[in-house]
Structure 1
Amino acid sequence: MPGKIRQTPLKSADRDYLALGLEGSANKFGAGIMKHSKDGSAIVLSNVRHTYVTPPGEGFQPRDTALHHREWALKVIDDCLTKAGVSMHQIDCICFTKGPGMGAPLQSVALVARTLSLLFNKPLVGVNHCVGHIEMGREITGAQNPVVLYVSGGNTQVIAYSRQCYRIFGETLDIAVGNCLDRFARIINLSNDPAPGYNIEQEAKKGKRLLPLPYATKGMDVSLSGILSAVEAYTLDKRFRTQEASADSPPDEDIITPQDLCFSLQETVYAMLVEITERAMAHIGSKEVLIVGGVGSNERLQQMMGIMAQERRGLVFATDERFCIDNGIMIAQAGLLSYRMGFETPLAKSTCTQRFRTDEVHVAWRS
Structure 2
Amino acid sequence: MIYYRRFFILLALCSQVFIYTSIFCQSKNFIQYVNPFIGTGSIDSLSLSGSNFPGAVAPFGLLQLSPDTDANPEDPCSGMIFADDTIVGFSHTHLSGTGVADLFDFLFMPFRGAAKWNAKVNAKGELGYCSSFQHSNEKASPGYYSVTLDDAQMKVELTASEHCGIHQYWNQGKDTFSLMIDLNHSLDKKRPYWSCKIIDAQIRVVDKYTIEGYRVITGWANERRVYFYATFSHPILSTMTKAGSKVNFNQNIANHKDLKLISNFKTEPNSALVISVGLSSVSYEGAKLNLASEVGNKGFDIVKKQTEEKWNKELSLIDVEANAMQKEIFYTALYHCFIHPNTISDVNGDYINSNGEKCNMEGKKY
Same fold (TM over 0.5): no
- What is the TM-score normalised by the length of structure 1? 0.29
Which structure has more strand as a fraction of its residues?
Answer: 2
Query: Greater RCO between the two (CA within 8 Å, min separation 6)?
Result: 1
- What is the TM-score normalised by the length of structure 2? 0.29
Which structure has more helix as a fraction of its residues?
Answer: 1
